[in-house]
Structure formats: structure tokens, C-alpha cells
Amino acid sequence: MKTTLALALLAAAIALPAQAAPDAAAALALSESNKCNKCHTVDKGKRGPSYKQIAAKYKGQADAMAKLSTMVTQSPKVKYENGDEEEHKPLNTKDPAKVRNLVEWILAL
């Protein structure tokens, strides 16, 4: 009985459409070529939070994709701890596939 159930679950898992994992190398390269790493690195926040902090903040939020995509393609105002306000630096591309890959990569950290 147990084996049958396990096999059924396995079959169901295989049948699910494979979700491609984000391309980390491409995401990192995009972040570096856009000088995002002046303010964010994977582990360390500089003027902005680290990408891991961002992932933790948005964990489980359904609209994370949309919010972060806006953040990196538009230039919303961001506030620094010292009270300075600045327009957030947008990516030099609006290619939806590249933006999506970067945001998915950040959220999966």
C-alpha cells in the first residue's frame, strides 16, 4: 500500500511542469555589470540590504516578484538610514526574461 502511494506521489511530481532554476551566473553578471554590487552583494549589505536580506524580507510574499521587478526597472525613491533619499538605480535592461531571472535568483537566495 505504502509503496503504491509513494509511487503515485513520485509520478505526480514528475508530471509537474519543470520549473527552470534561475541562472545564477547570468543574474550575478547582470548585477555586476549594472554596478548593483556597489550597494548590494549576496551576503553583505553596503548602502542597500544584501540580496539574502531582501530574500528573507520577501519570503512567502505572493507579490514579491512584482514588487522587486518594479524596484529594479523603475526608479522608485529609496531612503537611507541617514535619512537621505535617492532614486533607486534601475537595470540597464528591461528585457523581461533577464529581469525575471535576476529577481527569481535574489528571492531564491
Cell 530574500 -> residue: 55
- Report the residue number, 44 or 47, with the smaller CB distance to ligand HEC: 47
As measured in angstroms, the least distance from the Cβ of 101 to ligand HEC is 11
**Whole-angstrom distance, CA of residue 90 vs CA of residue 72:** 5
Q: Should residue 59 be labelled a site residue for ligand HEC when binding is judged by CB under 6 A?
A: no
Collapse the DSSP code of 74 into the 3-class scheme (helix H, G, I; strand E, B; otherwise coil) and give the result. Answer: coil
Q: Which three cell numbers stand for residue 30?
A: 547582470
Q: What is the CB neighbour count within 10 angstroms for residue 102?
A: 26
As measured in angstroms, the least distance from the Cβ of 58 to ligand HEC is 7
Q: Should residue 52 be labelled a site residue for ligand HEC when binding is judged by CB under 6 A?
A: no
- Report the residue number, 3 or 82, with the smaller CB distance to ligand HEC: 82
Q: Should residue 57 be labelled a site residue for ligand HEC when binding is judged by CB under 6 A?
A: yes
Task: Report CA dihedral (48, 50, 51, 56) to the nearest 10 degrees.
Answer: -110
Q: Should residue 64 be labelled a site residue for ligand HEC when binding is judged by CB under 6 A?
A: no
**Within positions 30 to 49, which residues make up the interface with ligand HEC, using CB under 6 A?**
31, 34-36, 38-40, 47-49
